[in-house]
Amino acid sequence: MKINVKWVLLGILVILILSSFGYAKKYKSVELYEGWNLVSLPCKVKDNDVEILTKNINSSLNVIFSWSNEDKLWSRYVPQRPPFLDDLKELNIEEGYWFGVEEDITWEIRCKG
């Protein structure tokens, strides 16, 4: 099988051009394994709302815990209960979070920019 180098180079050029103009969606994947996972956001996101960010893994997500060293308190998010019972509302790139999941799952995060 003969590979046409011109078409390969043209394809790479098109991908680079589209990516530079923001046409390519930027996603990061975080592998979560059954049980507990210490996780931080791999990129800046447009909306830090925990409910929006974890929408694609809520079927396997049991709980997210976060420790505030300043307040000396744990906060949590449990997707299966009413939001007013949760005190963890946002995920931030500078912090780490304990995710408790029922099964191995890939968390897809859309990055800002």
pLDDT at 94: 93
Q: Enumerate residues 6+ apart whose C-beta is below 8 A from 57.
A: 32, 101, 105, 107
pLDDT of residue 2 exceeding 70, the answer is: no
Q: Spell out the domain ranges in the chain.
A: 26-110
Q: Enumerate residues 6+ apart whose C-beta is below 8 A from 16.
A: none
Round the average pLDDT of the chain to a whole number and report it: 87
pLDDT at 23: 47
pLDDT at 81: 92
Q: What is the pLDDT of residues 55-84, one digit of tens each?
A: 999 999 999 999 999 999 999 999 999 989
